[in-house]
Amino acid sequence: MNGLPQAVLVRRGTYHDSVTLMRVSRALSELPGVHAAMVAMATELNVSILREMGFGVPEADPGDLVIAVRARDTDAAVEEADRQLTAAPRPEENSGEQPPLTTRSAAARGPADLVLVSTPGEYAFFEALDAVEAGLNVMIFSDGVTVERERLLKERAEARDVLVMGPDCGTAVIAGAGLGFANVLTPGPVGVVAASGTGAQQVTCLLDRAGTGVSHVLGVGGRDLSAEVGGLSARRALRMLDDDPGTELIVLISKPPAPEVARAIEALPLRTPVVRALLGPGAPDLTEAAEQALRALGRSVPEWPSWPAWRGGRATPHRIRGLYAGGTLSVEAAAVAGAGEFTDFGDDAYTRGRAHPMIDPALRVEALGRAAETDVVLMDVVLGHGADPDPAASLAHPIARSPATVVLALIGTEGDPQDLHRQAGAFREAGAAVFLSNAQAARHARSLL
């Protein structure tokens, strides 16, 4: 393909984390003479992508590393891949002291009341259970934990009077300290309980824009309000915020919950008023929920900013294609737009062996390249700590090249390190219409059809 030689090497039983592999792949792709490069774990998704790129991949297991390059000098490219992988940061050697072998023994070495678990999903359950049995609150950033194990963890946590946030809890803010993907938020009176990371980020970013800060954001994992889990963590988190003197109002956020779980949560005897953003038919969208919270606090609702597209003259669009990093934002946009084809690239199926799309845009860039002139591409870009340090650098050029009309929800605050206004300006210059509100972006996309 393209007249250049290619090389595909499989390194058996060699593991590197997905962020490291993304950075090495990107660095190789930018080298002179390299037409295509991908360094990844040999998961089913990654192998299929390599084959779509024209690479012949030999038999490999998900625990194997694949180095694939198409270049004028494949030996030099592979040598550079090995050099970068060898130079990748590793956990520091312990200076003589025996390192702790379990979460519980690590916590015993110093004061702790929260454990953050971010390991491959098959191991996350055991580390989280160890934390719960030690009487510690736990945030499980990992996905890939079965729903049966999630239920067991949360039942154990209830018995020990601690909170399990997750699994697949991407966002939390505890007394101003962000965990996982977290925006820079001013402190204030609103507490958030969220079975959605990006849903929490959307609501808190809008509140921040309106000058209303946040006390805590307690993520509970996307399945918590399902019938199988029963809202165990959501109920505990609500009670915790109800007891917090700094929280004057609570916002509860979730994709459509099981009806019986929603009713049980509504029946909780809480002193603190609760605004419910439980997406579903007849329910408010996330922007409307943020506006309800502002009115409940006696505060005015501002006009949410948008940056109209510079570029015009496209063909009349006939369909909406949603290319989302945030699952709840995708569900919300699909409901507001009323029609279209939506993909949540943050789903477990796309993140096994890969960095989350809020860090690695590769799959969305590829999908954007397949969009047609008659498409409206609706997508989100989420700013904040943990996310891509400069998403416009990766996405603005593909947006400018795309024949589709692009509408973008930019989820962020003035304090985020990526610079909200610089990102908005870059995307607008690339031809996208940019909105701070995902629901408004979806309505705009619908209006273009």
Indicate whether 315 belongs to any domain: yes
Clarify whether residues 274 and 318 are in a common domain: no
Cα-flanking dihedrals φ and ψ of residue 145, to 5°?
A: -95, 130
Q: Name the average pLDDT for the chain.
A: 91
Q: What is the pLDDT of residue 314?
A: 63
Indicate whether 1 belongs to any domain: no
Boundary (domain end) residue, out of 266, 296, 326 = 296
* Whether 408 contacts 433, CB under 8 Å: yes
- Per-residue exposure over 168-195, b if at least 16 CB sit within 10 Å of its own CB, e if not: bbbbbbbeeebbbbbbbbeebbbbbbbb
Clarify whether residues 150 and 276 are in a common domain: yes
Q: State whether residue 71 is helix, strand or coil.
A: strand
Q: What is the pLDDT of residue 90?
A: 56
Clarify whether residues 310 and 402 are in a common domain: yes
Domain that holds residue 371: 306-447
Kindly report the CATH number assigned to the domain that includes residue 215.
Answer: 3.40.50.261
Clarify whether residues 54 and 163 are in a common domain: no
Residue 322: DSSP 8-state: E
Residue 385: DSSP 8-state: B
Packing angle between helix 327-337 and helix 286-296, nearest 10 degrees? 100
* Whether 345 contacts 294, CB under 8 Å: no
Strands 306-307 and 274-278: unpaired
Strands 177-180 and 164-165: unpaired
Indicate whether 94 belongs to any domain: no
- From the list 348, 352, 350, the residue with the least C-alpha distance to 362 is 350
- The region, left, alpha or beta by phi > 0 then psi within -120 to 50, assigned to residue 313 is left
Clarify whether residues 393 and 337 are in a common domain: yes
* Whether 70 contacts 54, CB under 8 Å: yes
* Whether 275 contacts 296, CB under 8 Å: yes
Clarify whether residues 214 and 129 are in a common domain: yes
Q: What is the pLDDT of residue 309?
A: 85
d(CA 92, CA 94): 6
* Whether 382 contacts 182, CB under 8 Å: no
Clarify whether residues 236 and 281 are in a common domain: yes
Q: What is the pLDDT of residue 96?
A: 56
Kindly report the CATH number assigned to the domain that includes residue 45.
Answer: 3.30.70
Q: Please give the tally of structural domains in the chain.
A: 3
Distance from CA of residue 283 to its chain's centroid?
23
Indicate whether 176 belongs to any domain: yes
Clarify whether residues 257 and 116 are in a common domain: yes
Indicate whether 390 belongs to any domain: yes
Boundary (domain end) residue, out of 38, 57, 87 = 87
- Bridge partners of 41, per DSSP, are 65
Q: What is the pLDDT of residue 87?
A: 83
Q: What is the 3-state secondary structure (H, E, C) of 147-159?
A: HHHHHHHHHHHHH
Residue with tokens 């946030």: 165
Segments of 76-225 assigned E as strands: 114-117, 137-140, 164-165, 171-174, 177-180, 187-194, 214-219
Boundary (domain end) residue, out of 296, 326, 355 = 296
Residue with tokens 């953003």: 277
C-alpha dist (Å) from residue 135 to 105, 271, 336? 12, 27, 42
**Mind listing the pLDDT tens digit for each residue in 240-286?**
999 999 999 999 999 999 999 999 999 999 999 999 999 988 899 99
Indicate whether 97 belongs to any domain: no
17: part of which helix (H) or strand (E)?
none
Query: What CA dihedral angle connects 113, 118, 124 and 129, to 10 degrees?
Result: 0
Q: State whether residue 278 is helix, strand or coil.
A: strand
Is cis: bond before 257, omega within 30 of 0? no
Distance from CA of residue 310 to its chain's centroid?
28
Residues with Cβ within 8 Å of 312's Cβ and at least 6 positions away in sequence, in order, are none
Clarify whether residues 353 and 207 are in a common domain: no
Indicate whether 121 belongs to any domain: yes
Q: State whether residue 276 is helix, strand or coil.
A: strand
Q: What is the pLDDT of residue 2?
A: 61
* pTM for this model (two decimals): 0.84
Predicted confidence pLDDT, tens digits, the chain (449 residues): 467 899 999 999 888 887 788 889 888 988 999 998 999 999 888 898 899 888 998 999 888 999 999 999 999 999 999 999 988 765 544 445 677 777 777 877 777 789 999 887 778 999 999 999 999 999 999 888 999 999 999 999 999 999 999 999 999 999 999 999 999 999 999 999 999 999 999 999 999 999 999 999 999 999 999 999 999 999 999 999 999 999 999 999 999 999 999 999 999 999 999 999 999 888 999 999 999 999 999 999 999 999 998 765 567 888 999 999 999 999 999 999 988 999 999 887 888 777 888 988 989 999 999 999 999 999 999 999 999 999 999 999 999 999 999 999 999 999 999 999 999 999 999 999 999 999 999 999 999 98
* Whether 399 contacts 431, CB under 8 Å: yes
Clarify whether residues 11 and 152 are in a common domain: no
Clarify whether residues 130 and 248 are in a common domain: yes
Indicate whether 301 belongs to any domain: no
Clarify whether residues 337 and 443 are in a common domain: yes
- From the list 144, 153, 61, 32, the residue with the least C-alpha distance to 103 is 153
Write the single-letter amino acid at 446: R
C-alpha dist (Å) from residue 348 to 144, 152, 211, 352, 356? 7, 21, 35, 6, 9
Q: Side-chain half-sphere of 375: how many Cα atoms within 13 Å? A: 20
Q: What is the pLDDT of residue 97?
A: 66
Q: What is the pLDDT of residue 49?
A: 87
